[in-house]
Amino acid sequence: MRPKICVPIVASLRDRIVKEAADVSRLPVQMAEWRVDFYAGYARETASIVREIKEVLGDKELIVTLRTEYEGGEPNGSRFDYFGLLEELLDQGEADYVDAEISRDPVRLKELCRRYADSPTKVIGSYHDFQQTPSEDCIVRTLEKAKECGCAAGKFACMPVDPEDVDTLLTATARFKEKDHEYPVITMSMGEMGVKSRLYGGLYGSCISFGCVDRTSAPGQIPCTQMTEVFDKIYRDPKHIFLIGFMGTGKSTVAKELQYRSGKPEIDTDAWIEEREGRSIRDMFEAEGEEYFRDQETAMLDELGLQKSSVVSCGGGMVLRELNIRKMRALGRIVLLTAAPETVYDRVKASTDRPLLQDQMNVDHIREMMEMRMPFYERAADICVVTDNRMICDIAREILDRI
Ligand code: S3P
């Protein structure tokens, strides 16, 4: 999913705030966040400023945020009555979202969400950690808490201390979305190290990415124009054609035919990984085990984001991870090729480079594995194409006709 880009409005006085909103209305972004804690004028004017910002922003959505110092906000914000302001804005119903900190007073937040369930303004339940990245479990639990409180979306921002922390945040995001496809989450790893999460977060399920115009409101924000350029490359829809299916269903052969017919280059995920690693898949399985190879598959899908529109022939097990399916969906259309176990056996019986069939090259084993995997293939596929007893050119034509 291509995340919406949101930029902050951080001026301190009314005129400048409205001027910043007018500037945002001309930018290639979908949302603005007014950070009320940067505002230095009369607190009683807040709601009328929200109205003016909305008018100036046109069709862009508005999040209004009073960030407390504890969650990285400006000292200025402490003069507001926190829940009083949220209530006023939810009553007013003109902002699209208000941000409410989950850890401040969860009981009161739950009550607020319940009371204002019908307000056109929705609550985003947020949590920030500027010191470190908590565990994957803790991130998932916090997002669950936002939902339990009745917030319309959950937001989690934390600071990486080493590069693995960025992966922890992204993996936690994907783990949450695996269990709960529908609930919107916004996650980010802050600082320079976390930039990857602002660009690739959409592949993991984050629905908004915060950038900046010239002044940042949180560490690690990158200019929204650069974000748009990268997003255009990553999330062009439908960008790649992914061919999935069991071993021997003809993915590589059909990919070559599609390359010939569509002019899109062909990428074979197995060959890509073998080249990167400088060794065969069989050697990888033998030396490091299957999980290691699966990790390489998951990692290469991020790199595919920056490749030009291609036909991607995937290893037969690519769909076994829900995260891979999510990434492929964000990057293009997924075509499932099928064949009967007997057909597959005929096609692969002479091959020695498929470690999962190596010791059991027979129709029964192929059938058993195929049945086990079929739910994964079917869940991932946008379209399904049968390949038994068909000419390659017919299969390719059908795919191009249907996508
Ligand atoms: C695998 C299929 C292979 C290769 C690896 C694992 C699988 O790709 O990725 O041996 O788990 O089905 P092909 O489907 O191209 O043979």
* Whether the CB of 96 sits within 6 Å of ligand 1: no
SS3 content of the chain, % helix, strand, coil (to 5): 50, 15, 30
pLDDT given at position 71: 85
The set of catalytic residues is 128, 155
As a whole number, mean pLDDT of residues 111-115 equals 98
Nearest Cα residue to atom 10 of ligand 1: 354
Q: State the pLDDT confidence band at 375, using cuts at 50, 70 and 90.
A: very high
pLDDT at 344 over 80: yes
* Whether the CB of 317 sits within 6 Å of ligand 1: yes
pLDDT at 237 over 70: no
As a whole number, mean pLDDT of residues 5-28 equals 96
C-alpha 3 – ligand 1 centre gap (Å): 31
* Whether the CB of 250 sits within 6 Å of ligand 1: no
As a whole number, mean pLDDT of residues 295-324 equals 93
* Whether the CB of 274 sits within 6 Å of ligand 1: no
Nearest Cα residue to atom 2 of ligand 1: 316
Q: Of all atoms in ligand 1, which is nearest to the CA of residue 251?
A: 15
pLDDT given at position 214: 79
12 vs 214, residue with greater confidence: 12
pLDDT, tens digit, for every residue of 175-203?
Answer: 999 889 899 999 999 999 999 999 999 99
Query: Which of 270, 319, 351 to mutate for ligand 1's pocket (most ligand atoms within 8 Å of CB)?
Result: 270
